[in-house]
Amino acid sequence: MARIEARRDPTAGDDGAEMLRGDLVVRDLTVAYQEKVVLRGVNARMRPGQVIGVIGPNGGGKSTLLKAILGIVPVTHGTVTLAGRPAATMRGRMAYVPQREAVDWDFPVTVWDVAMMGRYPRLGWLRRPGSPDEARVEAVLRQVGMWGERRTQIGQLSGGQQQRVFIARALAQEGDVLLLDEPLNGIDAQTQEVIRAIIEEERQAGKIVLLATHDLVSASCACDCLCCLNQRLVSYGPTPETYTPETLSATYGGPVIMLGPAGGVASVPAREPGAHPHHWPDHPHHRHAHENLGREHD
């Protein structure tokens, strides 16, 4: 129940005291690639100990929001602050797990090398990793179950193992914010379990976790708040208030089918066929059987 209590109204409160606690605040954010606006009007306040699900259709701006928070895409308008300071100046405190498709898997680095990269912000320029860094890397590789594969070149791993290595890199960084871009995409059950456990641990440790996903069931189960994007901010708020047919319909731009009892936990755009394999079976919020839950298409 601690989780429920940890949920607060994400948009309430003004500046000042909250900021000092380490809130991540996105204000009136607009991002454009060249002249094309891909995301606009995003306002969100994310608090330590909250898991925020970033959902929406493909091209809706999920990855873009994460990258804008990290300051690696140019922000046209608006601000992102962490603990009251511009987030772009605090990049070392934000740990990022990119989509697997964005990585060059043929690159000659081992599992150990990748995890060690998470230590670089702490090392700074010119310095080489020391024994505290090695101890931390060993700990996180054991945590994600990849210690045995530490000498393996990353291209030889399965998709789920690759995902766990990148999560290890993010954990090695010991940041305040963890940004996961589609971590549940095409991975095995063991990896899903590892990711679920890590998200929970990070929440308990008072970190802010952003989880961009097209997996609505996982998002509704794992997240305290949902940030619904469709090239603009459709809705941001506690999961029980945002995970509704109305909001999802507005987010995905079509009619939704309700599954389960009213007060609904499961809904999909009607035009979407296909089953979804992801389940988070032992989560307390996972009260209903979800079947025929689709994912968005372009």
Partner 1 sequence: MVGLHHWVVEPFGYAFMQRALVEVVLTGAVTGAIGTYVVLRGLSFIGDALSHAIFPGVVIAFLLGRSVFLGALVFGLLTSASIVVLATSRRIKEDSAIGVLFAGTFALGVVLISTTRNFARDLASFLFGNVLGVTTGDMWLSATVGGLVVILMVLFHKELVLVAFDRAAAQALGIRVFWLDLLLLVLISLTIVVSLSAVGNILVVALLVTPAAAARLLTDRVTVMIGLSASFGVIAGVLGLLVSYHADVAAGGTIVLVATFLFGLVWLLAPTHGVLVAPWRRRRATAVDTSGEARVVLESPDAGGAGR
The yes or no reply on residue 214 touching partner 1 (CB under 8 A) is yes
CA angle in degrees (0–180, nearest 5) for 22-4-55: 70
Q: Which helix (H) or strand (E) holds 120?
A: helix 120-123
What is the C-alpha separation between 137 and 129, in angstroms, rounded? 10
- Out of 10, 49, 61, 118, the only residue in the binding site for partner 1 (CB under 8 A) is 118
- Out of 21, 85, 107, 205, the only residue in the binding site for partner 1 (CB under 8 A) is 107
* Helix 189-204, helix 159-172: angle, nearest 10: 20
- Alpha-carbon Rg for the chain in angstroms: 19
Total residues binding partner 1 (CB under 8 A): 55
The yes or no reply on residue 123 touching partner 1 (CB under 8 A) is yes
Q: Tell me how many helices (H) and strands (E) the chain has.
A: 11, 12
- Other C-beta atoms within 10 Å of 270: how many? 13
- Other C-beta atoms within 10 Å of 122: how many? 15
Which residue, chain included where needed, has tokens 């998470």? 118
Rounded to the nearest whole angstrom, what is the least distance from the CB of residue 92 to partner 1 in the complex?
5
Within residues 151-170, the interface with partner 1 by CB under 8 A covers: 153, 156, 158-161, 169
Rounded to the nearest whole angstrom, what is the least distance from the CB of residue 207 to partner 1 in the complex?
16
Q: Which one, 161 or 244, has the nearer CB to partner 1?
A: 161
Which residue, chain included where needed, has tokens 């009619």? 255
The yes or no reply on residue 64 touching partner 1 (CB under 8 A) is no
Rounded to the nearest whole angstrom, what is the least distance from the CB of residue 23 to partner 1 in the complex?
20
The yes or no reply on residue 200 touching partner 1 (CB under 8 A) is no
Q: Which residue, 226, 261, 231, is CA-closest to 247?
A: 226
Q: Which one, 102 or 262, has the nearer CB to partner 1?
A: 102
Pairing of strands 36-46, 266-269: unpaired
Within residues 237-296, the interface with partner 1 by CB under 8 A covers: 274-277, 295-296
The yes or no reply on residue 207 touching partner 1 (CB under 8 A) is no
Q: Which helix (H) or strand (E) holds 211?
A: strand 208-212
- Out of 15, 20, 21, 190, the only residue in the binding site for partner 1 (CB under 8 A) is 190
Reduced to 3 states (helix: H, G, I; strand: E, B; else coil), residue 25 is strand
Using CB under 8 A as the criterion, which residues of the chain lie in contact with partner 1 when the complex forms? 34, 58, 67, 70-72, 91-92, 94-96, 98-99, 101-104, 107-110, 113-114, 117-118, 120-121, 123, 125-126, 128, 153, 156, 158-161, 169, 173, 179, 182, 185-188, 190-191, 214, 274-277, 295-297
